[in-house]
Amino acid sequence: MAQLPQRIEQIRIAHAALIHHVVMGCANAEARQQLMPMLKVARENGWNELVDRIQLVLTGRREAALLNGLDEEDTVILQAILQGLQDPATLPDLNQQADPAQAAPGLAQMIHAACTGDAKALQAVAFMAEQMTNTQGDLRLLGGSMKRLVDGERNPEVLCKGMSAQGRQLVQNLIDELNQLASH
């Protein structure tokens, strides 16, 4: 697959589990039943437009007009689903880890906003944590630590337990970004 712009690829990687579950749910009733709790959590976390569009895809709709009016992240996710339905080779790799240099600033912004009482950011962080815990490796471990980060934990020894060097670097970059945001 051709290299995608880094921001788009980071969104695809962060939501790979959801993208795969929707594609599988379109082809298999059992997989669709497993997807429903994910969609319920997404709706509870304020991702109503995306869930509405995903449900249209699950009923067989595939037109590009489904992308109209979505924000950038939702557009990337839905576009990945539609492309994955046409060509499964385009689906994001479930085992690929986020690039620490690219992921940390965006995650830090969301976590910082959640720490300062932004309800939408808290919902987004909760949804992202749910998605991350449905993956493997370092992202799964980081997903399990998101609440700690929102609650103010900044000790890398606590947050990096069990992570690879790449995962530890991601967490350290995230802590550095959070500390910078807190100092402003």
Residue 172: CB atoms within 10 Å: 15
Compute the mean pLDDT over every residue in the chain, rounded to the nearest whole number: 86
Of 39, 72, 90, which one is at a domain's C-terminal end?
90
| Residue 120 covered by a domain | yes
Instruction: Kindly report the pTM of this predicted structure.
Output: 0.60
Nearest to 47 by CA among 5, 25, 77, 84: 77
Tokens of 6: 């880094």
How many domains are there within the chain?
2
pLDDT of residue 106: 74
Residue type, 90: T
Instruction: Determine, yes or no, domain membership for 174.
Output: yes
What is the H or E stretch that residue 85 is in? helix 72-86
Stretch 131-148: mean pLDDT: 85
Which of 67, 90, 113 terminates a domain? The answer is 90
Structural domain contains residue 95: no
Give tens-digit pLDDT for 116-139. Answer: 988 877 887 888 888 788 777 888
Residue-level pLDDT at 1? 42
C-beta of residue 78 within 8 angstroms of C-beta of residue 67: yes
| DSSP H helix total and E strand total for the chain | 10, 0
Mean pLDDT, residues 24-34: 91
pLDDT at 8: 83
Q: Is residue 1 part of a domain?
A: no
User: Which residues span the domain enclosing 110?
Assistant: 100-183
